[in-house]
Amino acid sequence: MKKIVTFGEIMLRLTPPNNLRFSQAHSFNVNYGGGESNVAVSLANYGLPVEFVTRLPKNDIGECALMEMRKRGVGTQHIAFGGERLGIYFLEIGAVSRGSKVVYDRDHSSIADIQKGMIDWDTVFADTQWFHWTGITPAISQSAADVCLEAIQAANRLGVTVSTDLNYRKNLWNYGKSPKEVMPELVAGCDVILGNEEDAEKHFDIHPKGMDVTQGHSMDAAAYQSVCEQLMERFPRAKKVVVTLRGSISASHNSWSGILYDGKTLYNAPTYQMTHIVDRVGGGDSFMGGLIYGLLTYKGDDQSALNFAVAASCLKHTIYGDANLVTVDEVEKLMGGDASGRVAR
């Protein structure tokens, strides 16, 4: 099978244990993660060949991030080395009515200073069927956005399917460009677009028609078809537009589903009630990893691909850390209706 390539930043994640606040912490748990690296880990867990491309500092912390990818079965042969530091983010995990909080420390990270020409994309994309990036990468710096465009254009030229998770992050867009100036050119090269109503609004001024998404916790999937239709009209290359549907009842209880629109049919996934969330960071990444697996595995069956993505990301909310460490069998068990959580022995 041809491989899948993801491109973006992996960071050191520091989290106070046991739902402590930053001001209470005397120690931090260490994990590594990032939007595109999380997708790569999901795909490797599902048994697909996957390569993660990034730029890491040549020091012990960069080596730790590299080892994290390798131990999860992710290919790392095209990673570039250089720059000053690995990006860091601090995560305070909320509970009940207290939301989680993220503080970034990623200025001048190795990938923020990446330049066009540092990655030989023609070599990277040899024997590749799919390329994935997220809206986080072009938010880091102008040069990271330039390299992202360089990769998308190479993938388009070589006939590689391109997907994006729009992933709006308001705290990252601080280098003088707005997402509305940068993202349209990048998304124009994409075949599959994943996002939510906030992503569509902040990047492209696209809103669900006839619905105020800020009111209540209901998730009327049909109301979001207009978002899909507007994205397809704006980006005619796109063959599928997918929207994640999250109802936030509290930090510990979310409802979770999704829709997929192929230009003709709107597919709706089952809705899961996640009542005791362990860690919601990486939920969207686990959805994207499940979606890519589903579209490649259940060929011509978009309903099953969507159902796999939603079930996979539902399970991710039970797992501490950024990455979704579940198997295909576990996801398909939940898809089949078994949410009992019984001990397997």
Task: Give the CATH number for residue 167.
Answer: 3.40.1190.20
More confident residue, 280 or 341: 280
In this model, does residue 275 exceed pLDDT 90? yes
Domains: count for the chain: 1
Phi, psi torsion values for 245, nearest 5 degrees: -120, 110
Structural domain containing residue 74? 3-334
Q: Quick one: average pLDDT of 310-331? A: 97
Virtual torsion, Cα 208, 312, 48, 1, nearest 10 deg: -60
Pairing of strands 161-165, 55-56: unpaired
For residue 218, the model assigns a pLDDT of 47
- Domain membership of residue 340 (yes or no) is no
In this prediction, residue 343 has a pLDDT band, given cuts at 50, 70 and 90, of: low
Query: In this structure, is residue 342 part of a structural domain?
Result: no
Strands (E), the chain: 3-7, 11-15, 29-33, 50-53, 55-56, 80-81, 88-92, 101-105, 128-134, 161-165, 192-195, 240-248, 254-261, 266-268, 272-274
Lookup result for tokens 């078809």: 225
Q: Is residue 36 one of the residues assigned to a domain?
A: yes
Dihedral-angle region of residue 90 (phi above 0 means left; psi in -120 to 50 means alpha; beta otherwise) = beta
- Tell me the percentage of the chain whose pLDDT exceeds 90: 88
In a domain, 7, yes or no: yes
Task: Return the CA Rg of the chain.
Answer: 19
Q: Is residue 339 part of a domain?
A: no
pLDDT value at position 171?
86
Average pLDDT over the chain, rounded to whole? 93
- Does 123 map to a domain? yes
Higher pLDDT, 40 or 208: 40
State the pLDDT confidence band at 338, using cuts at 50, 70 and 90.
confident
Asked if the structure places residue 91 within a domain, the reply is yes
Give φ, ψ of 283 to 5 degrees: -60, -45
- Tens-place pLDDT, residues 39-65: 999 999 999 999 999 999 999 999 999
- pLDDT (tens digit per residue) in 98-119: 999 999 999 999 999 999 999 9
Decide if 133 is inside a domain: yes
Q: Return the higher-pLDDT residue of 212 and 245.
A: 245
The secondary element (H helix, E strand) that includes residue 154 is: helix 142-157
The Cα 132–Cα 139 span in angstroms is 16
